[in-house]
Amino acid sequence: MKPDAPAEPRNFFQDVHEVVRLVPPGRVTSYGAIAHYLGARHGARTVGYAMMAAHTADQYVPAHRVLNRLGHLTGRLHYATPFAMQEALEAEGIRVEEDRVVDFAKLFWDPSVELA
């Protein structure tokens, strides 16, 4: 049982932001991968919400490295300009075509594997 809650109410968003910050430049990951790493199979959606709230995080969160499972830049419309996300990725040597990351499978960085 759990008479009292954990000392640290570690918010899901906090965890998500932390994991995203661990994604190395030139690499990308997906909402689902992060959710799975955090133990929430159906929490992918929440991960997306976390990204939207990423700008409220204390530290910078490279949200441009997080895509949906198809490698699409789903969050690009949330940036200052619709191209900011793509430009940020290309600046790291990642090729983007038609709002989709080329060689997504190769560049994919799975936290449950890399941080195992």
Partner DNA sequence: AACCTGACATGAT
Partner DNA sequence: TATCATGCCAGGT
Query: Among 23, 51, 88, 94, which residue sits at the site for DNA (rule: CB under 7 A)?
Result: 51
Phi–psi pair at 26, nearest 5 degrees: 85, -5
The nearer residue to DNA, 49 or 109, going by C-beta atoms, is: 49
Nearer to DNA, 3 or 39 (CB): 39
Size of the site for DNA (CB under 7 A): 35
Binding residue for DNA (CB under 7 A) from 17, 23, 37, 48? 48
Q: SS3 of 32, please?
A: helix
Binding-residue pattern over the window 6 to 45 for DNA, x denoting contact by CB under 7 A: -----xxx----------------xxx--x----xxxxxx
* Core vs surface per residue 45-84: b (16+ CB within 10 A) or e: ebbbebbeebeebeeebbbbbbbbeebbbbbbeebeeeee
Separation of alpha carbons 74 and 67, rounded Å: 6
- Strand ranges for the chain from DSSP E: 29-30, 66-67, 96-97, 100-101
Q: Residue from 27, 78, 108, 110 that binds DNA (CB under 7 A)? A: 78
Structure tokens at 110: 């799975």
Nearer to DNA, 12 or 114 (CB): 12
Give the footprint of DNA on this chain (CB under 7 A).
11-13, 30-32, 35, 40-56, 63, 66, 68-70, 74-79
